[in-house]
């Protein structure tokens, strides 16, 4: 009986995908334009130079530029015009918005590539987003996988309650999990799910935990809110502190260690991403383009790019070597909570409080997979309005699979091509962190009550 | 294959290894809504300039004055888990560190670690920072004690106490959690803890705010006047007694009764919107009967002038303007139909409740059904916006500025967002349909229209009257229920609003000012009087003329403007007549009347008075339009909003310049030929000067004035210029421009 729900879920998901009707200009869109738009934007009169009466002239656009961008409703002028929340600016002018069903048809038509008729090809570029494991996805380690061996004894401070799992990471090369505690990090053996010991972090609350690419070094970033913040590196085997960088005035909220372990990027309420050298602890460069708190930073596995995200929904891709901007990735309407790179450095996933889970093709910054409600919360009867549906944690696994945690309290698994694989139902506290064991066979979530949840399985459907 | 994968699943849960605390005092733990939210309010964390701003402050937002407890709970505990609230080490919660100023905080230290506020927040976090169950009792009312404070000789202080009653019937002293304010700090100051300190002579209110409630207590500070003695002035009707009662409490004495000349001018301007004629002046002064003032009031109330003046006042409030731009549905033809309908109602002395009710429930063509224009003239827009209309409707017909409750519960009144959205829903179905010609629109109510959605949780809010417990019944046009509630004699909002506006017309000042800002924190200067006026209005069947008669025949109305020793600074208690500038249209009519002149208005037939005119244009009516450049200069309302403040009475430089260099005076004196006619009739200089005085000021010159003016005339007794200079001086004097 337990299996009924996930099976049904999958069945529906696959079917919905297969049955998706082809939306075309001739059959679906032109009637909508005829009803609402053609009086001003038609054959006889084309206000703002825009003529919506033929497929060709729609593509031509108007005096304001292209009206539609194949595959991307969110940046299409036409779609923005009909969904503008300002009564004064919205099209059609001085009228109620178009019915939701018509707006959805137009959105789908744009997303699926602006087909003219059912014989037409989609104009949205077909792109290969398949996952190809590359050599450096997980660095080779000489000798046995790096596991803690002789950790110094440490007694965890007594706290009123366990710290919520605000930070967590799984080693990419060993069955090892690191989890945030108040002023320490606990290490857990993923074979036994038993604690191996703890590393002190007297600097405060660990807000970010990351393993180095080879799994030998553990990065812990955090601090005390509005007091101090820094990033500390530990040797996984011995538990020794290797170095500490950053001397911030607020706790570090976002940080990552570059794959070559030479750089640490960090950010927080200062709206600036700072990149430090690990050998000398000196500031290499600052990235000052963000307009709000930095919520996530992540180096690409090949080390060439750095992605950073902010609380206003902005994501920027930087060139690691120079600190120059490569791309800005605009899709999120609210705070971005998580960034994660797929092992091939080809795709970057982002999740945010707007409910969106986006897989970006980082070659051109295209949102190749755009799921605008990845963690849909259940709606109780009598409850109206927006229910928080944010995506708050992301982690890729070795096969390019993605584990996400959301405000619907579910932990969800997605295949390397973005297809929904399964959901791990959770009735407990809000999951805050997600991790996948290095062999891809254990999925972990850490929740707001400080508890860990483990599920065995793998990414194969 | 799919199921196989799932068979591999096992679910394991590992309990965190740290020591697990149990919330032993969960029962006594503070409630988020009942205990924690009031701390944010008291510490002013959630004001509009701090975290209550729509965008929050320094990255942290709270709902303004706490209208959205659920959202605040989410932002504090869920938005950034582990930061604002730290369940592991509660003392390290940023919320506490910031509030106590232990870490940099733009708002500084809000309270100390040993304060009850800190303890409340800390013990809430220690208990797990839990949300409330649905059953938490919430405040339903607050009281402020004492209700009234009197300080003798401008000295003394007193502590007030705020008590909240909760939905479970319990009561609690919330003085520590309330915020305090005063309407006049120079009369009564109030400290953050509720200690009232007397200041200078006067009367005012101090307020306490808690949760969504505001409540006031009156403070009177008496002068140190041992010699004060009430003089027992005569009482002519109920209003006098109530005002006297108030004056005695404040150690004020009323001014003397005004003389007949002053009364004649005052009451003619107020009731008929113009000056008395020479003949009316002479007849009234010659009349020796005892009740001649009452007889005059009765005559003026029946005059066409009364009808025209009140049509003008209503047309202004209802924003009657005619244009030539069809899409706004406010064509001149429609304006004319509406204006004529209003005029008919005023002429028949239609009860005001029915007058309003007809408009509220109106349906049909704007070109044939006058009252239907209510739904287009109050709008002057190509589209009907329910929210804007609901706000304007409320401001005009109840005096309540409900629009504050669109984004948050009204901070200084009792209105909540629930009230606001329920109110808006009366108008979400109002639609216009193009009629048989471009100027014509049919107004109707689409009963299938969806109700307004609540801002916070998007709940649909069915149509509910202000302060109503439940939505109005479905199935019939909800505007019928709205009109019935609005115009019921039991509805204080409606009767108070009308009574206050009518009183203000005659007395130059409302009991509540601004007229259209009635709220708990802006109480009337004499509540028993407003109650009495409203009751008499309702009891008379909302008879405008009856209330006007009651007011004009009271002794209070007939007091002199000249102050006595006690009341020179009184502008609120009606101990003397207030000087008030004439309305722009009444001023122009008075100039025309005094000069026997003639003034026409573009696009209106010749011979109409200024008060019979309303703004017309050939174009669109959306902006401010006064109808004539003279009106613009003298502050007639542009009818661009419903605000009573649109009618301006302030003097301006352009008014002075208009009288000096403008064309009105010369043109009117030239057209009327008052001076040439008097010279041609060979009348002596004394008689000519006297006539000019009566025409302009409704009085004869006194001996000194006459002597000086005769000297000025000298031997040029036939010189038109010298008399016209005198006339011009009289017409531009403050005595002419003001009613007194």
Sequence-distant contacts of B287-295: CB under 8 A, at least 24 apart: B292/B260, B293/B260, B293/B263, B293/B267, B293/B553, B293/B558, B294/B553
Of B81, B97, B458, the CB nearest to A448: B81
CB contact under 8 A, B3 and A451: no
> Which H/E stretch holds residue A265?
strand A263-267
How far off is chain A from B5, nearest CA to CA, in Å?
A: 7
pLDDT digits (tens, 9 = 90+) for A191-235: 999 999 999 999 999 999 999 999 999 999 999 999 999 999 999
Extended beta strands in B185-315, E state: 188-190, 195-198, 202-210, 213-221
Q: Which residues pair with A377 in a beta bridge?
A: none
Confidence of residue A319 (pLDDT cuts 50, 70, 90): very high
A245: phi > 0 → left, psi -120 to 50 → alpha, else beta; which?
beta
So what's the pLDDT on residue A120?
Answer: 85
Residue in B5, B81, B82 nearest the CB of A457: B5
pLDDT of residue A20: 57
Report the gap between the CA of A75 and the closest CA in chain B (Å). 25
* H helix runs in B615-733, sequence order: 629-633, 653-661, 664-672, 674-680, 685-697, 703-713, 720-731
Q: Cβ atoms within 10 A of the Cβ of B408, count?
A: 23
pLDDT-derived band at A290 (thresholds 50, 70, 90) equals very high
Range A239-248 average pLDDT: 94
* Closest chain A C-alpha to B102 CA, distance in angstroms: 9
Asked if the model's pLDDT at residue A15 lies above 60, the reply is no
Option in B94, B128, B383 nearest A225 (CB): B94
Q: What percent of chain A has pLDDT over 90?
A: 71
pLDDT at residue A19 tops 80: no
Q: How confident is the model at residue A8 (pLDDT cuts 50, 70, 90)?
A: very low
Residue B113: both structure tokens together:
């670690």
Examine the pLDDT at B274 and tell me if it is beyond 80.
yes
Q: Which of B17-26, B59-68, B502-511 has the lowest mean pLDDT?
A: B17-26
Q: Is A215 helix (H, G, I), strand (E, B) or coil?
A: coil
Nearest Cβ partner for B458 among A384, A450, A453: A384
* pLDDT tens, residue by residue, B315-324: 999 999 999 9
B703-732 residue pLDDT tens: 999 999 999 999 989 999 999 999 999 999
| Phi, psi for residue B395 in degrees, rounded to 5 | -65, -40
CA distance A311 to A336: 6
Here the tokens at position A164 are 């919520």
Task: Compare A33 and B12 and report the one with higher pLDDT.
Answer: A33
Residue B22: pLDDT above 60?
Answer: no
Whether A21 has a pLDDT exceeding 80, the answer reads no
What is the model's pLDDT at position A461? 55
Closest-CA distance of chain A to residue B415, Å: 22
> Looking at the predicted structure, is the pLDDT value of residue A368 above 60?
yes
Q: Whole-prediction pTM value? A: 0.86
Residues of chain A positioned with their CB less than 8 A from the CB of B459: 384-385
- Does A155 reach chain B within 8 Å, measured CB to CB? no
Distance of alpha carbon A164 from the chain centroid? 21
The answer to whether the Cβ–Cβ distance between B90 and A160 falls below 8 Å is yes
- Whether A437 and chain B come into contact, CB under 8 Å, resolves to no
Q: Do B8 and A456 touch (CB under 8 A)?
A: yes
Write down the pLDDT at residue A72.
86
Chain B residues within 8 A of A225 when measuring between CB atoms: 83, 92, 94, 97, 103
User: What's the rounded Cα separation, in Å, for the pair B57 and B350?
Assistant: 54
Res. A176: pLDDT tops 80? yes
A310 chain-B contacts, CB cut-off 8 A? none
C-alpha–C-alpha distance, residues B671 and B599, integer Å: 9
Evaluate whether B532 touches B244 at the Cβ level (below 8 Å): no
Work out the mean pLDDT of chain B and round it to a whole number: 93
pLDDT above 50 (res A16):
no
Which whole number is the average pLDDT over B142-157? 92
**What is the ipTM, given to two decimal places?**
0.86
- Which whole number is the average pLDDT over A424-438? 90
A430 shares contact with chain B (CB less than 8 Å): yes
Residue B23 has pLDDT above 70, yes or no: no
Contact B346, B307 (CB under 8 A): yes
Distance (Å, whole) CA B518 – CA B329: 31
| pLDDT category of residue B12 using cuts at 50, 70 and 90 | very low
The pLDDT, as a whole number, for residue B367 is 97
CB contact under 8 A, A160 and B126: yes
Q: Which residues of A touch B74 (CB under 8 A)?
A: 388
Sort out which chain A residues have CB atoms less than 8 A from B11's CB and list them.
Answer: 424, 453-455
Contact A182 B13 (CB under 8 A): no
pLDDT at A260: 94
Give SS3 for B285. helix
Contacts of A460 in chain B (CB under 8 A): 5
Mean pLDDT value of segment A412-436: 91
pLDDT mean over A344-349: 95
Question: For residue A137, what pLDDT is reported?
Answer: 52
Model confidence at B171, in pLDDT bands (50, 70, 90)? very high
Instruction: Kindly tell me if the per-residue pLDDT of A318 is higher than 90.
Output: yes
Give the residue carrying structure tokens 């207590």: B217
- Smallest Cβ distance to A452: which of B3, B14, B97? B14
Least confident range of A194-198, A247-251, B406-410: B406-410
B401, B493 contact by CB (below 8 A): no
User: Is A158 in CB contact (< 8 Å) with chain B?
Assistant: yes
Among A195, A227, A293, whose Cβ lies nearest the Cβ of B103?
A: A227
Segment holding B99, helix H or strand E: helix B94-99
Angle, CA of A430, A268 and B49, to the nearest 5° = 85
How would residue A3 be classed by pLDDT, with cut points 50, 70 and 90? very low
User: Which tens digits make up the pLDDT trace of B440-495?
Assistant: 999 999 999 999 999 999 999 999 999 998 999 988 899 999 999 999 999 999 99
* Residue in chain A nearest B86 by alpha carbon: A163
Task: Identify the pLDDT of residue A439.
Answer: 93
How much is the average pLDDT of A427-434?
90
pLDDT > 70 fraction of chain B, expressed in percent and rounded: 96
Buried b (16+ CB within 10 A) or exposed e, B642-665: bbbebbeeeeeeebeebbeebebb
Strands A347-352 and A357-361: antiparallel
Assign 3-state DSSP to chain A and report helix, strand, coil percentages, each to 5: 15, 35, 50
- State whether A193 and B18 contact (CB < 8 Å): no
1-40 in chain A: CB under 8 A from chain B: 3, 6-7, 10
Q: Are residues A250 and A238 in contact, defined by beta-carbon separation less than 8 angstroms? A: no
**Quick check: A224 contacting B, CB < 8 Å?**
yes
* Mean pLDDT, residues B405-409 taken together: 90
Nearest to B88 among A94, A160, A249 (CB): A160
- A168 CA: distance to closest CA in chain B (Å): 13
Which of B9, B82, B89 lies at the smallest CB-CB distance from A160? B89
Name the minimum distance, in Å, from the CA of A319 to any CA of chain B. Answer: 29
Under the banding of pLDDT at 50, 70 and 90, the label for residue A134 is low
Q: Which residue of A has its CA nearest to B13?
A: A453
Rounded CA-CA distance A258/A264 in Å is: 6
Structure confidence at residue B168 (pLDDT): 94
Geometric angle at alpha carbon B514, from B508 and B520, rounded to 5°: 125
Q: What angle do CA B156, B158, B164 make, to 5 degrees?
A: 165
Contact A161 B88 (CB under 8 A): yes
CB–CB of A186 and B17 under 8 A?
yes
Check whether A370 has a pLDDT greater than 80.
yes
For residue A385, give the nearest of B17, B126, B458 by CB distance.
B458
Total CB pairs under 8 A between chain A and B: 141
A381 in contact with chain B, both atoms CB, cutoff 8 A: no
The mean-pLDDT minimum among A121-125, A200-204, A264-268, B553-557 falls in A121-125
Percent of chain B clearing pLDDT 90 (strictly above) = 89
Read off the pLDDT band of B3 (50, 70, 90): very low
Residue A135: pLDDT band (50, 70, 90) is low
Q: For residue B352, is pLDDT > 90? A: yes
Q: Do B13 and A430 touch (CB under 8 A)?
A: no
- What average pLDDT does the structure give for chain A? 90
Query: pLDDT-derived band of residue A381, with 50, 70 and 90 as boundaries?
Result: confident
Residues of B with CB below 8 A from A386's CB?
458
What was the pLDDT predicted at A138? Answer: 56
Say whether A311 and B74 touch across the interface (CB within 8 A): no
Of B82, B453, B460, the CB nearest to A163: B82
**Separation CA B363–CA B354 (nearest Å):** 15
CB of A452 within 8 Å of a chain B CB? The answer is: yes
Question: What pLDDT is recorded for position A126?
Answer: 73
Say if the Cβ atoms of B59 and A162 lie within 8 Å.
no
Cβ of A163 and B87 within 8 Å? yes
Answer yes or no: is pLDDT of A128 > 70.
yes
Average of per-residue pLDDT across B103-111: 95
Identify the helix (H) or strand (E) that includes residue B710: helix B703-713
Query: Which ranges of A150-232 would DSSP assign to H, the alpha helix?
Result: none
Q: Work out the average pLDDT over A62-87.
A: 88
**Long-range contacts, B606-609 (Cβ 8 Å, 24+):** B609/B273, B609/B274, B609/B308, B609/B585
Structure tokens at B460: 């649909």
**Looking at the predicted structure, is the pLDDT value of residue B534 above 60?**
yes
How far, in Å, CA of B321 to CA of B640, rounded?
A: 10
The pLDDT confidence band at residue A141, using thresholds 50, 70 and 90, is: low
Supply the pLDDT for residue A18. 41
Nearest to B610 by CA among B621, B624, B597, B623: B597
Chain A residue closest to B80 (CA)? A166
Chain B residues with CB inside 8 Å of A461's CB? 1-2, 5
B574-597 pLDDT, tens digit per residue, is 999 999 999 999 999 999 999 999
Asked if A88 reaches chain B (Cβ–Cβ under 8 Å), the answer is: no
**Three-class SS state of B120:** helix
Does the beta carbon of A76 lie under 8 angstroms from any beta carbon of chain B? no
Are B281 and B287 in contact by the 8 Å Cβ rule? The answer is no
From B6, B20, B88, residue closest to A6, measured CB to CB: B6
């Amino acid at each position: 009986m337990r299996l009924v729900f996930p099976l049904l879920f999958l069945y529906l998901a696959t079917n919905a995908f297969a049955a998706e009707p082809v939306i075309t200009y001739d059959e679906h869109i032109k009637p909508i334009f005829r009803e609402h738009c053609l009086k001003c934007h038609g054959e006889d009169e084309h206000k703002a130079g825009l003529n919506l009466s033929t497929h060709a002239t729609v593509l031509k656009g108007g005096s304001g530029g292209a009206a539609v961008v194949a595959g991307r409703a969110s940046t299409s002028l036409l779609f923005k015009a009909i969904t503008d929340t300002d009564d004064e600016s919205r099209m059609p002018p001085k009228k109620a918005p178009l019915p939701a069903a018509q707006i959805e048809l137009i959105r789908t038509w744009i997303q699926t590539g602006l087909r003219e008729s059912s014989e037409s090809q989609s104009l949205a570029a077909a792109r290969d987003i398949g996952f190809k494991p590359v050599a450096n996805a997980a660095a080779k380690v000489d000798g046995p996988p790096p596991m803690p061996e002789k950790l110094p004894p440490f007694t965890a401070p007594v706290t009123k309650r366990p710290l919520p799992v605000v930070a967590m990471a799984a080693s990419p090369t060993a069955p090892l999990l690191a989890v945030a505690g108040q002023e320490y990090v606990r290490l857990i053996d993923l074979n036994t799910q038993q604690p191996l010991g703890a590393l002190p972090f007297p600097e405060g609350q660990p807000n970010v935990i990351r393993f180095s690419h080879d799994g030998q070094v553990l990065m812990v970033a955090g601090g005390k809110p509005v007091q101090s913040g820094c990033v500390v590196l530990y040797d996984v085997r011995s538990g020794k502190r290797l170095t500490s960088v950053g001397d911030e005035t607020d706790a570090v909220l976002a940080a990552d260690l570059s794959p070559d372990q030479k750089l640490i990027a960090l950010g927080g309420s200062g709206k600036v991403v700072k990149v430090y050298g690990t050998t000398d602890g000196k500031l290499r460069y600052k990235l000052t383009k963000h307009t709000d708190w930095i919520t996530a930073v992540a180096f690409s596995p090949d080390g060439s790019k750095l992605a950073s995200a902010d609380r206003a929904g902005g994501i920027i891709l930087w060139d690691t070597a120079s600190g120059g901007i490569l791309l800005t990735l605009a899709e999120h309407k609210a705070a971005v909570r998580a960034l994660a790179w797929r092992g091939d450095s080809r795709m970057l996933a982002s999740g945010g409080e707007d409910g969106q889970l986006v897989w970006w093709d980082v070659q051109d910054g295209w949102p190749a997979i755009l799921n605008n409600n990845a963690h849909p919360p259940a709606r109780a009867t009598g409850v109206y309005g927006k229910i928080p549906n944010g995506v708050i944690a992301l982690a890729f696994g070795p096969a390019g699979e993605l584990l996400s945690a959301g405000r619907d309290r579910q932990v969800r698994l997605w295949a390397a091509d973005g297809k929904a694989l399964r959901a791990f139902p959770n009735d407990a506290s809000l999951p805050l962190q997600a991790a996948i064991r290095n062999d891809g066979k254990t999925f972990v979530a850490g929740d707001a009550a400080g508890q860990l949840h483990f599920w065995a399985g793998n990414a194969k459907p | 294959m799919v199921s196989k994968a799932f068979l591999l699943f096992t679910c394991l849960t590992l309990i965190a290894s740290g020591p697990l605390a149990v919330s032993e005092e969960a029962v006594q733990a503070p409630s988020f809504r009942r205990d924690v939210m009031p701390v944010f309010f008291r510490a002013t964390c959630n004001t509009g300039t701090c975290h209550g701003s729509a965008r929050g402050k320094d990255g942290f937002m709270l709902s303004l004055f706490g209208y959205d407890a659920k959202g605040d709970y989410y932002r504090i505990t869920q938005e950034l888990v582990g930061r604002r609230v730290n369940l592991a080490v509660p003392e390290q919660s940023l919320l506490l560190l910031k509030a106590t100023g232990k870490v940099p905080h733009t708002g500084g230290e809000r309270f100390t670690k040993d304060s009850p506020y800190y303890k409340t927040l800390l013990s809430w976090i220690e208990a797990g920072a839990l949300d409330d169950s649905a059953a938490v009792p919430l405040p339903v009312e607050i009281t402020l004690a004492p209700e009234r404070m009197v300080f003798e000789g401008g000295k003394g202080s007193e502590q007030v106490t705020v008590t909240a009653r909760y939905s479970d019937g319990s009561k609690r002293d919330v003085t520590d959690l309330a915020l305090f304010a005063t309407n006049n700090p120079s009369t009564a100051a109030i400290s953050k803890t509720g200690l009232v300190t007397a200041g200078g002579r006067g009367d005012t209110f101090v307020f306490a705010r808690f949760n969504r409630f505001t409540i006031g207590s009156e403070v009177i500070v008496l002068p140190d006047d041992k010699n004060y003695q009430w003089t027992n002035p005569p009482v002519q009707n109920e209003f006098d007694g109530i005002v006297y009662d108030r004056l005695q409490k404040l150690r004020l004495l009323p001014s003397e009764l005004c003389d007949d000349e002053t009364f004649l001018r005052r009451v003619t301007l107020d009731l008929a919107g113009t000056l008395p004629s020479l003949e009316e002046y002479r007849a009234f002064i010659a009349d020796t009967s005892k009740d001649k003032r009452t007889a005059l009031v009765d005559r003026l109330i029946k005059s066409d002038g009364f009808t025209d003046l009140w049509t003008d006042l209503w047309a202004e409030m209802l924003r009657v303007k005619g244009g030539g731009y069809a899409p706004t549905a406010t064509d001149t033809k429609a304006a004319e139909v509406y204006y004529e309908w209003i005029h008919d109602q005023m002429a028949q002395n239609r009860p005001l409740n029915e007058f309003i009710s007809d408009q509220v429930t109106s349906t049909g063509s704007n070109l044939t059904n006058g009252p239907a224009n209510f739904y287009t003239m109050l709008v002057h827009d190509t589209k009907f916006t329910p929210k804007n209309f609901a706000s304007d409707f409320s401001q005009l017909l109840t005096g309540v500025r409900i629009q504050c409750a669109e984004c948050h519960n009204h901070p200084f009144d009792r209105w909540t967002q629930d009230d606001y959205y329920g109110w808006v829903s009366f108008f979400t179905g109002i639609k216009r349909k193009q009629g048989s010609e471009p100027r014509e629109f049919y107004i109707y109510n689409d009963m299938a229209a969806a109700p307004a959605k609540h801002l916070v949780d998007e709940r649909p809010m069915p149509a509910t009257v202000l302060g109503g417990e439940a939505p109005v019944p479905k199935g019939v046009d909800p505007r019928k229920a709205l009109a019935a509630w609005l115009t019921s004699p039991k509805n204080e909002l409606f009767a108070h609003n009308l009574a206050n506006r009518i009183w203000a017309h005659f007395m130059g000042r409302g009991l509540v000012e601004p007229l259209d800002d009635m709220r708990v924190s802006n109480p009337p200067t004499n509540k028993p009087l407003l109650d009495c006026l409203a009751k008499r209005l309702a009891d008379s069947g909302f008879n405008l003329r009856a209330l006007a008669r009651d007011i004009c025949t009271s002794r209070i109305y007939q007091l002199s403007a000249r102050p006595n020793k006690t009341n020179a600074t009184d502008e609120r208690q009606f101990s003397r007549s207030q000087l008030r500038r004439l309305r722009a249209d009444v001023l122009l009519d008075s100039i025309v009347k005094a000069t026997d002149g003639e003034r026409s208005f573009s696009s209106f037939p010749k011979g109409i008075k200024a008060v019979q005119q309303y703004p017309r244009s050939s174009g669109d009516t959306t902006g401010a339009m006064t109808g004539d450049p003279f009106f613009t200069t003298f502050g007639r309302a542009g009818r661009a909003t419903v605000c009573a403040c649109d009618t301006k009475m302030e003097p301006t430089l352009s008014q002075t310049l208009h009288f000096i260099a403008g064309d009105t005076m010369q043109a009117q004196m030239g057209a009327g030929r008052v001076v040439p006619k008097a010279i041609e009739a060979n009348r002596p200089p004394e008689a000519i000067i006297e006539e000019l005085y009566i025409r302009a000021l409704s009085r004869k010159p006194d001996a000194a004035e006459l002597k000086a003016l005769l000297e000025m005339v000298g031997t040029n007794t036939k010189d038109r210029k010298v008399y016209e200079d005198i006339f011009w001086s009289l017409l531009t004097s403050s005595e002419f421009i003001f009613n007194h």
